[in-house]
Amino acid sequence: MGEYTQAQRLQALPPYLFAELDRMKQEQVKKGVDIISLGIGDPDLPTPPHVIQALARAAADPANHQYPSYEGMLAFRRAAADWYRARFGVTLDPATEVLSLIGSKEGIGHFPLAFVDPGDVVLVPDPAYPVYQAGTIFAGGVPYAMPLTRTNGFLPDLNAISGDVLKRARILWLNYPNNPTGAVGPREFLARAVEFARRHRLILAHDAPYSEMAYDGYRPESVMSVPGAKEVAVEFHSLSKTYNMTGWRVGFAVGNPAILTGLGRIKTNMDSGVFQAVQYAGIAALTGPQDCVAESCRVYQERRDVLVKGLREMGFDVEPPKATFYIWVPVPKGFSSTSFTVEILTKAGVVLTPGSGFGAAGEGFVRAAVTVSVDRIREAVERIRKLGIRGQ
Ligand SMILES: Cc1ncc(COP(=O)(O)O)c(C=O)c1O
């Protein structure tokens, strides 16, 4: 960076493990290799037409061209509250218990700035979506990794956290259904987490963007449906995955009003809210027909089944996830997460994500996202099969 030394908060971030893999992927593309990418958690399905039409209508109205309100239009927050009641049976006051976000990543990244002072601890799952850790570091906080292991059903062992750490801890991050493991958070676990947060005076921050991406009749839980959750918890939601709207940047947080007020104060000073036309599109998504959600799940479920079956036939010990579009695959003996990813990229032209990129406890796994057509998944399986690698 020459004389422009980056701030310590940037230097404190863990190295970006995917940079070298991105470079290797580009090399394959340049060589003309037909790459199949199972690497990115971004739906390939389009946003439903009625949502696009709502955007087009609202974008044409000059009333929507000015600065939106910071917390989001009341109509958007009401739509989110109504959706919550219909989906989870949870009652929320749209005025104080719902806050709009410019995509949930924005809220998650900013959240620690509201509640974490330098030296405070934030409890973060490992492996995890990297923003919990990055937001903590930007606020001067210290991330404490809670390992998610297969033997624990990828649920953190809260009792393993020492009293000394808990004394300094402010936030407990959880994420179910989980990226990258595909694990789900049973109600008893969420209830235990609420009780744990209350006992140790923590903010429970539950990140739930995959709550609607579930299979085989499974319906993920909201932490807000646990009695007493509103006293200690907030939950982050996103329209990104549910309605194939990752590019639109719209989500929301719900729960404890005082906690949301803290996040809102940060946002007031950092951003200017969600474009109102996008909020109208969000209202159309949340209040309109929901068959598009069921249809996306049907598509992902078919892809999941093809990939899981193919991997099992090669000897990989994989379970079909009940939710999310991620398959968490143990790497064969003799490989690390990274060396296996490199092998599959360079010899089969298939992009996977090394588990170690999500945290040290992700070592030994790779993540495959079923975000390409079922035919391409079949082809990916075929290419890997031809390498003769056995899962065990
Ligand atoms: C666990 C998790 N949380 C949050 C997000 C952010 O979603 P968005 O900012 O699009 O709402 C993602 C996106 O991949 C995610 O995997």
341-354 tens-digit pLDDT: 999 999 999 999 99
What is the model's pTM?
0.97
Q: Which atom of ligand 1 is nearest to the CA of 128?
A: 1
Q: Could you list the beta-strand ranges (E) of the chain.
A: 36-37, 98-101, 121-126, 142-147, 169-175, 203-207, 233-238, 251-255, 326-330, 350-351, 353-354, 365-369
| 72 Cβ inside 6 Å of ligand 1 | no
| 41 Cβ inside 6 Å of ligand 1 | yes
DSSP 13: S
From ligand 1's centre to the CA of 392, what distance in Å?
A: 32
| 252 Cβ inside 6 Å of ligand 1 | no
* Ligand 1 pocket mutation, candidates 238, 245, 325, criterion most atoms within 8 A of CB: 238
Q: Are 154 and 181 in contact (CB under 8 A)?
A: yes
CA atoms within 13 A on the CB side of 95: 0
Cα angle 365, 175, 212 (rounded to 5 degrees) comes to: 100
How would you classify the pairing of strands 326-330 and 353-354?
Answer: unpaired
Q: Which pLDDT score, from 0 to 100, does residue 19 have?
A: 78
| 180 Cβ inside 6 Å of ligand 1 | no
Q: Which pLDDT score, from 0 to 100, does residue 333 have?
A: 95
Rounded Cα distance between 11 and 137, Å, is 10
The residue nearest atom 6 of ligand 1, judged by CA position, is: 105
Q: Which pLDDT score, from 0 to 100, does residue 301 have?
A: 98
* Ligand 1 pocket mutation, candidates 40, 101, 124, 129, criterion most atoms within 8 A of CB: 129
Bridge partners of 233, per DSSP, are 204
Q: Which pLDDT score, from 0 to 100, does residue 24 have?
A: 87
Q: Which pLDDT score, from 0 to 100, does residue 2 have?
A: 64
Rounded Cα distance between 339 and 61, Å, is 53
| 238 Cβ inside 6 Å of ligand 1 | yes
Residue ranges in the chain whose pLDDT is less than 50: none
DSSP string, 256-271: -HHHHHHHHHHHHHH-
Q: Which pLDDT score, from 0 to 100, does residue 16 have?
A: 74
| 179 Cβ inside 6 Å of ligand 1 | yes
Q: Which pLDDT score, from 0 to 100, does residue 101 have?
A: 98
Rounded Cα distance between 285 and 288, Å, is 5
Q: Which atom of ligand 1 is nearest to the CA of 245?
A: 10
